[in-house]
Structures are given as structure tokens and as C-alpha cells.
């Protein structure tokens, strides 16, 4: 293609670059030719090359090309910043920003959104604060996109008051600004704040649009607030806001996230228009809710209709297999995914994690370990974490220790892995090892994420921590809890003290168990909820063995359905049985 005899023009090289835009090796060859022919004096070819390298994610080479440029324009600096953000290389981004300042290059309005995003990825608050000062000094804070990124950064750091302050002092709060803020709240998992601001927005008489509705439906999905979500949807209809397929998909997703699978299926069947997102949402939703059969049946139906699945669809299919312990089916779908040989369907880390989860939970721990070692992508903490979780379930101390060693190396600051490891030791009665892990956690400053549960009642979300006494109805809640505990003990419930963290006295174990947040939430639901309606509890972490047994007994005692969504999946407790069939 690049024969020596052919005299190459700049135009030809530019076309070659365009044709090779997704081929890193070709790009490097062309670069060599560009240098040989002396065209490198002309920045336009190098600009094109740099853009292509950023697109294919070869940031190392992109940087080399950038450094060769005599005086790169601000556009090229921004291209590199964009590439660093896309490829999750925040540290390089920060160093580049420093270089930019050292050279006295003035950033423009496109620079800061990328740099702020990089700081968010880096996760270092003081850097964020000093960058915010630069933004202010350079006069870019009032720009919507920069301000939004700053708000997002503060939200990610958990600095909610700074984020809110920034939003409140933006110069113009038009619909775009409100939508951006609400969307950021939802994306960072602050759905209760999103709801609060939606109400403020309505009080300010700002007319919302379909973007707002989509954000709010997904907020309600996160919060498990089906009633509030439906109210917002109804309002949107009444106010003739366009409820396009994106809105309808969001509504479907909300129903599934609230455990309302039957209603979701009616919505799905009635949809005038369905796209791959609708199908995937339904399949993932069924999987999460433990209806693996329905999920797989829907996948077959989708294929029969000739619709091409995407990577989310496969995630749903694999997690359906994982939740039902369908090892052979899982393997079959995974190899189908590989066989389809579609660039967009190459298994991602999430798919590998699903397979590890499936093998691990089914007790095939060694096979899962071998699977990880043979993976085509670098295993991340999520994948190792899935195996560690399985080791905890199957109480395999030896492999558990091996996996924990890898995790502690790669993610020393993630407290949940340390907790899992110490649970494995606790189950084996190795209290000296438990102590060691705990003191290591203290030394590293790793914190356990505080567990909480929430219930929606009367248009409000009620949150409970373990042993919480801050709720106005606290007294009644604890009385109700005592009453239930007494009754279910007579039915044969025995507290599972094995899931308590440390070797404390038996009585203390029982009382700390009985005040877990989900138990308080269920008691609250029993006091306030309408008879015959399910009690929906959302839990931010995985529910413990004891709360699982407790919920089964309560569903039987009270003839009430309890729908609990924990970090991993849904549990529908009906008449003493859980939909997860103990596979979680």
C-alpha cells in the first residue's frame, strides 16, 4: 500500500489516515511515513493522527506524537485531555494540566470539563478544590458544562453541601441547568436529593420535560419508590410532555427495580414500539428479580424476532443463569457471545464477573479460579471480588486467602473485601486471623460502608440504619419488632448468629442481629403499609443470612409479601419462601 516509488501527497496521507482510523499498527506506519516525507511540519496531519490514536485508546503513542509537535494548539491539548478521561488515566491528565500551566498555555472552555472529570476519577478532594479555584480565577465557573462537572465532582466525593451550594449560585437556572443537576444526582446515587430538587423545580414553576422525567423515573427506581414514580409519569402525560420510547423504557426499568415484574411485563407487552433497550431492560429485570426462566424465554423470543442482542442483553442472560445456578446454560450463552464474533459483543469485565459468580456460587471454585487466569481481559477487583464472595459462601478458607491477597494488593482501600475475608475466618473460628484483618483495616483506614435500608411510605422515603432510634415512630417500631420476634421464635425461627462479625457474647450477638436495618424497615412497613400490599425494602448492601430467614418467617406470619432489593438482587418473600431459592 505504501510503495516507495509512489510520490505521496498530503491529501493521500490524510485519506490513508482516515481509512486506518481504527487500526493502531497502520497508524504507526503512517506516522513513520509522515515524518520521512517531511509532512510532519504540517500539524494538520499530526492532528488527524493524534485524534485517531486517542480514538483507539493508544494514549502512550498519542502523547509521543503530541510531544513532537512544536506548538500544539489548545484544541490538541483538549484532545489529549479527552483521551485521558476516556481511557481512565486521570494521573496523566493532572500531569498534563500541570505542564500546561508551567508553559503558560491558557485553557479554554473545553479544557476544564475534561480536567475536572479527571480529578473526579482520581478521587482526591484537595486537588478538586484547588482546580475549582483555577476555574474561578480563569472565569469559567459560570459556564454550564464546567459548573455541571464541578457539581458532579463534589457529588462523587460525597461533598453534597458544596455541590448544592454551587448549583444554587449558578447564574442562570434554566431547564437545562435543572436537568443537568438532577441527572448528576441520579448518576452519583443521590436519588433522594434528586427528588428534593425536582420538587423545588416544580415549586419554582419551571416546566419539566422528558429528560427530567427519565431522570426522575430512574431516581424512583433507585429508591424503590414506585408510587412517586408513577405519579410523576402520570403528571407528564397530563401535561402532554412527550413520552417517547426513552421515557417508556425508563418507566419499565423503574417497575423492575421496584420488584414489580408483573406490571412491568404488561407495560412491555403493551409498548407500541420496542427497541433493544426495552428487551434488555426486561431481561435484566427478570434476572434481578429471580425470574430466570422468564428472562431466558424472553431472550429466545427476542432472537426469534430477529433482534440483535447487545452486551446488556447478554449481561441479563448470564446473570439469569448465575442467579438460578444454571451452570451449563451459562457456559453455553457465554460461548455464543464469543462465537457471534461481533466487536460490540466482545465479553467485557462484567460478563466475566458474571461467569465467575455463576461458577463460584455453584461451588466450582477451582474452575472459577482457572477461568479468571485464562481471561482475555485483565481481571479487575469486581471479578476477584465475585470469587472471594463465593469463597465466603462456600467457606473455602485456602482459596479465599489466595484471592484476598490479590485483592488487598490491587484494592487495599476497599473495606468490603476485608470484611468478606474476616467473615471467612470468623466462620472457620479463626479469631486470631479475624483480629489481624481488622487491625489491618484500621491501619489502612478502610471503612465498612454503613448499611441502611429504606421504605417508601406516603410519598416519602424512610431510611433506617442498624439500631436506629432517630425515626419519630422508633418506639412503635421496636415494639413491633419484639412482638414479631417472639411470634416467629414460636414458629421455629432461630437467630443465625454465625453471620455476626466477631466472637462477642451470644446475647449481644442476638441483639445486634435483631436491630439490622432491614428488620427495622420491615417493622415500619408492617405498622404503616396498607394491608394486602407488598412491603418494599431497599438495602444498600447484601442482606445477611439472618435477615433473609427472618423475612421468610415474617412473610408467613403476616401473610404479607416482602420485596427486598439488596445490592446483588431481589428477594420476593411469599408465605415463608423466597424467590431466590437460597441462591444469592
Shorter beta-carbon distance to Zn ion: residue 35 or 577: 577
Q: Pick the piece of the chain touching Zn ion (CB under 5 A) from 249-257, 355-363, 520-528, 543-551.
A: 543-551
**Nearest distance in Å: CB 563, Zn ion:** 11
Question: How big is the site for Zn ion, counted in residues (CB under 5 A)?
Answer: 6
Nearer residue to Zn ion within complex by CB, 345 or 393: 393
d(C-alpha 305, C-alpha 248), whole Å:
20
- Smallest distance, Zn ion to C-beta of residue 292, A: 13
| Residue selected from 544, 554, 562, 563 as contacting Zn ion according to rule CB under 5 A | 544
Minimal distance in Å, beta carbon 287 to Zn ion? 14
Interacting span for Zn ion (CB under 5 A) from 62-70, 194-202, 433-441, 546-554: 546-554
CB of 540 to Zn ion, least distance (A): 12
- Closer residue to Zn ion, CB minimum distance, 386 or 547: 547
Please compute Rg for the chain using Cα positions.
27
Q: How many Å apart are CA 543 and CA 383, to the nearest integer?
A: 20
For the bound state, the minimum distance from the C-beta of residue 496 to Zn ion, rounded and expressed in Å, comes to 9
Q: Restricting to residues 515-534, which ones interact with Zn ion according to CB under 5 A?
A: 516
Question: Taking Cα atoms as reference points, which of 194, 202, 191 lies closest to residue 241?
Answer: 202
Query: Cell 424503590 maps to which residue?
Result: 224
Contact between 569 and Zn ion by CB under 5 A: the answer reads no
Identity of the residue, 110 or 464, whose beta carbon is nearer to Zn ion in the bound complex = 464
452-457 sheet: strands from edge to edge: 460-465, 452-457, 535-539, 562-565, 570-574, 577-578
Tell me, residue by residue from 498 to 517, as one string, x for binding to Zn ion by CB under 5 A and - for no binding: ------------------x-
CB neighbours of 397 closer than 8 A, spacing ≥ 6? 391, 424, 425, 428, 430
Q: What is the Cα–Cα distance from 548 to 555, expressed in whole angstroms? A: 11
Residue 156 or residue 516: which is nearer to Zn ion going by CB? 516
3-state SS assignment for residue 459: coil
| Residue 473, Cβ density class (10 Å: 0-12 exposed, 13-18 middle, ≥19 buried) | middle
Nearest distance, CB of residue 504 and Zn ion, angstroms: 15
* Nearer to Zn ion among residue 61 and residue 501 (C-beta): 501
Cβ nearer to Zn ion, comparing 219 with 544: 544
Of the listed pieces 87-95, 409-417, 490-498, 566-574, which binds Zn ion according to CB under 5 A? 566-574
Nearer to Zn ion, 310 or 497 (CB): 497
- Rank residues 141 and 546 by Cβ distance to Zn ion and give the closer one: 546
Q: Which is nearer to Zn ion, 254 or 578 (CB)?
A: 578
**Helix runs in 105-208, H state only:** 111-122, 125-137, 144-156, 160-168, 175-187, 191-203
Is there a contact between 256 and 227 (Cβ–Cβ < 8 Å)? no
Decide whether 231 or 545 has the Cβ nearer to Zn ion: 545
Rounded Cα distance between 461 and 439, Å, is 36
**265 or 552, CB closer to Zn ion?**
552
Decide if 222 contacts 214 (C-beta within 8 A): no
Ramachandran class of 208: left when φ > 0, alpha when ψ lies in -120 to 50, beta otherwise: beta
* Grid cell at residue 131: 482546580
Q: What pairing do the DSSP bridges indicate for beta strands 535-539 and 562-565?
A: parallel
Query: Smallest gap, in angstroms, from Cβ of residue 499 to Zn ion?
Result: 7
Shorter beta-carbon distance to Zn ion: residue 17 or 578: 578
List the grid coordinates of 573: 418473600
571 binds Zn ion (CB under 5 A): yes
Which residue in the block uniquely carries the three cell numbers 431472550? 299
State in angstroms the smallest separation of the CB of 518 from Zn ion. 6
CB of 306 to Zn ion, least distance (A): 36
- CA separation for the pair 361, 388 (Å, rounded): 10
Q: Which stretch binds Zn ion (CB under 5 A): 87-95, 149-157, 520-528, 571-579?
A: 571-579
Closest distance of CB 463 from Zn ion, Å: 16
Give the β-pairing of 535-539 and 570-574: unpaired
Binding segment toward Zn ion, per CB under 5 A, in 138-146, 219-227, 312-320, 563-571: 563-571
Asked if 547 touches Zn ion (CB under 5 A), the answer is yes
Alpha-carbon distance of 192 to 459, in angstroms, equals 12
Q: Is 564 helix (H, G, I), strand (E, B) or coil?
A: strand
DSSP conformation letters of 489-516: HHTT----GGGSSS---HHHHHHHHHT-
| 580 contributes a contact to Zn ion by CB under 5 A | yes
Strands 570-574 and 577-578, how do they pair? Answer: antiparallel
Q: Exactly one of 399, 421, 481, 578 binds Zn ion (CB under 5 A); which one?
A: 578
Indicate whether 481 belongs to the interface with Zn ion (CB under 5 A): no
Binding region for Zn ion (CB under 5 A) out of 17-25, 85-93, 254-262, 570-578: 570-578
Q: Near Zn ion by CB under 5 A, which window of 189-197, 325-333, 421-429, 564-572?
A: 564-572
Shortest approach of Zn ion to residue 291 CB, angstroms?
Answer: 13
State the nearest-atom distance from the C-beta of 322 to Zn ion, in Å. Answer: 14
Give the binding site for Zn ion (CB under 5 A).
516, 544, 547, 571, 578, 580
Amino acid at each position: 500500500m505504501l510503495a516507495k516509488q509512489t510520490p505521496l501527497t498530503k491529501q493521500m496521507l490524510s485519506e490513508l489516515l482516515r481509512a486506518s482510523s481504527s487500526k493502531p499498527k497502520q497508524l504507526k506506519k503512517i506516522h513513520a511515513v509522515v515524518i520521512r516525507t517531511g509532512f510532519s511540519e504540517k500539524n494538520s496531519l499530526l492532528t488527524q493522527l493524534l485524534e485517531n490514536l486517542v480514538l483507539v485508546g493508544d494514549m502512550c503513542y498519542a502523547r509521543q506524537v503530541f510531544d513532537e509537535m512544536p506548538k500544539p494548539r489548545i484544541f490538541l491539548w483538549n484532545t489529549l485531555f479527552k483521551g485521558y478521561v476516556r481511557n481512565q488515566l486521570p494521573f496523566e491528565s493532572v500531569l498534563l494540566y500541570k505542564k500546561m500551566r508551567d508553559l503558560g498555555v491558557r485553557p479554554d472552555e473545553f479544557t476544564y470539563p475534561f480536567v475536572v472529570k479527571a480529578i473526579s476519577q482520581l478521587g482526591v478532594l484537595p486537588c478538586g478544590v484547588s482546580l475549582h479555584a483555577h476555574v474561578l480565577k480563569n472565569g469559567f465557573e459560570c459556564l454550564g458544562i464546567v459548573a455541571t462537572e464541578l457539581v458532579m465532582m463534589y457529588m462523587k466525593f460525597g461533598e453534597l453541601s458544596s455541590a448544592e451550594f454551587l448549583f444554587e449560585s449558578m447564574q442562570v437556572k434554566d431547564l437545562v441547568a435543572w436537568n443537568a443537576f438532577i441527572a448528576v444526582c441520579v448518576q452519583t446515587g443521590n436519588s433522594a436529593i434528586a427528588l428534593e430538587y425536582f420538587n423545588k423545580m416544580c415549586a419554582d414553576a419551571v416546566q419539566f420535560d422528558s429528560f427530567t422525567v427519565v431522570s426522575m423515573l430512574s431516581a424512583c427506581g433507585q429508591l424503590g419508590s414506585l408510587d412517586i414514580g408513577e405519579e410523576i409519569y402520570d403528571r407528564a402525560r397530563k401535561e402532554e410532555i412527550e413520552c417517547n420510547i426513552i421515557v417508556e423504557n425508563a418507566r419499565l426499568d423503574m417497575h423492575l427495580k421496584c420488584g414489580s415484574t408483573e406490571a412491568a411485563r404488561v407495560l412491555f407487552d403493551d409498548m407500541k414500539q420496542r427497541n433493544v433497550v426495552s428487551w434488555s431492560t426486561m431481561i435484566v429485570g427478570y434476572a434481578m428479580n429471580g425470574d430466570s426462566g422468564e428472562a431466558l424465554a424472553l431472550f429466545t423470543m427476542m432472537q426469534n424476532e430477529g433482534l440483535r442482542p447487545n452486551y446488556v442483553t447478554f449481561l441479563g442472560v448470564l446473570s439469569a443463569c448465575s442467579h438460578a445456578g444454571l451452570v451449563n446454560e451459562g457456559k453455553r450463552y457465554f460461548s455464543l457471545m464469543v462465537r457471534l464474533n461481533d466487536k460490540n459483543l466482545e465479553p467485557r469485565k462484567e460478563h466475566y464477573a458474571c461467569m465467575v459468580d455463576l461458577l463460584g456460587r455453584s461451588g466450582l471454585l477451582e474452575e472459577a479460579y482457572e477461568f479468571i487466569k485464562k481471561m482475555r481481559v485483565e481481571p479487575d477487583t469486581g471479578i476477584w471480588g465475585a470469587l472471594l464472595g463465593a469463597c465466603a459462601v462456600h467457606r473455602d478458607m485456602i482459596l479465599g486467602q489466595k484471592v484476598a491477597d490479590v485483592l488487598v494488593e490491587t484494592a487495599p482501600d476497599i473495606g468490603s473485601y476485608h470484611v468478606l475475608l474476616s467473615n471467612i475466618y470468623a466462620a472457620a473460628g479463626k479469631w486470631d486471623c479475624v483480629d489481624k484483618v481488622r487491625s489491618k483495616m484500621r491501619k489502612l483506614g478502610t471503612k465498612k460502608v454503613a448499611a441502611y435500608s429504606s421504605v417508601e411510605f406516603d410519598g416519602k422515603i424512610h431510611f433506617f440504619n442498624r439500631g436506629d432510634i432517630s425515626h419519630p415512630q422508633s418506639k412503635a417500631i421496636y415494639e413491633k419488632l419484639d412482638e414479631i420476634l417472639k411470634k416467629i421464635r414460636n414458629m421455629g425461627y432461630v437467630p443465625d448468629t454465625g453471620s455476626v462479625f466477631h466472637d462477642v457474647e451470644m446475647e449481644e450477638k442476638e441483639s445486634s442481629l435483631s436491630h439490622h436495618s432491614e428488620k427495622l424497615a420491615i417493622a415500619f412497613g408492617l405498622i404503616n403499609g396498607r394491608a394486602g400490599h407488598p412491603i418494599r425494602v431497599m438495602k444498600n448492601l447484601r442482606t445477611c443470612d439472618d435477615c433473609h430467614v427472618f423475612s421468610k418467617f415474617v412473610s408467613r406470619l403476616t401473610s404479607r409479601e416482602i420485596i427486598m432489593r439488596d445490592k446483588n438482587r431481589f428477594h420476593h418473600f411469599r408465605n415463608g419462601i423466597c424467590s431466590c431459592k437460597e441462591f444469592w
